[in-house]
Amino acid sequence: MTNFSDIFKSSFLENAASVSILDMALALILAFGIGMFIFLVYRKTYSGVMYSSSFGVTLVALTMITTVVILAVTSNVVLSLGMVGALSIVRFRTAIKEPLDIAFLFWAIAVGIVLAAGMIPLAVIGSVVIGMILLVFVNRKPHVNPNIIVLRCSGHESELAAQQLLRQHVTRCAVKSKTAEKGSVELNLEVRLKSENTDFINALSDIPGVVSAVLVSYNGEYMG
């Protein structure tokens, strides 16, 4: 029969002291600090269309949550086996729109694991180095930004005349796609402009047989 004194001898209460309060506080404070650093790097290097502040907050929370989980796992071998089984049923349904977001997610998880393992210098120095590399390379812009010109012509002669005029105002011109129908030709051209002056688009539209000429800013990423 279990008496009152047996309650305080239970393994549950013994596990409560397996991780010291000082270790937990230090690990969580460091996880929060490095998580905020990851969040700031993410905000500085984001180059997508719509910035999501909730994803930045998720990076901070993910760093701290991973730290808590690994602290529990390292304190009890049996718990680590159960944790693996429990986490194996977790499924993430949110689609990752930017490839670089995957790197930030793994960065936050890795920092949480390293901090909980007690490798504080590795977590701090590694995060600083990764952050500096991302700030340098992600924010690096090409000298000449590519553009796309969508050109619609009524025939082959107007197409040749438009391309001849176009090559006088660009340093590079490459055909990305061409659609030909009876009485109509549509071209998608990747170009690099010689200057910021775009008046040549007006001249393109004035060529006989050119139905329309559209200049679109382009980030250089395409499939194919």
Q: How far apart are CA 173 and CA 158, in angstroms?
A: 17
pLDDT per residue as tens digits for the range 125-170 = 999 999 999 888 876 655 556 788 888 888 888 888 888 888 888 8
Please state which CATH class domain 146-217 belongs to.
Answer: alpha beta
| CA dist list (Å): 75 to 12, 62, 79 | 13, 20, 8
Which sign, positive or negative, has the C-alpha torsion 186, 190, 194, 198? positive
The pLDDT, as a whole number, for residue 92 is 59
Domain edges within the chain: 8-138, 146-217
Amino acid at 52: S
pLDDT digits (tens, 9 = 90+) for 175-214: 888 888 887 888 888 888 877 777 888 888 888 888 888 8
Please tell me the pTM assigned to this model.
0.61
Under DSSP, is residue 198 helix (H, G, I), strand (E, B) or coil?
coil
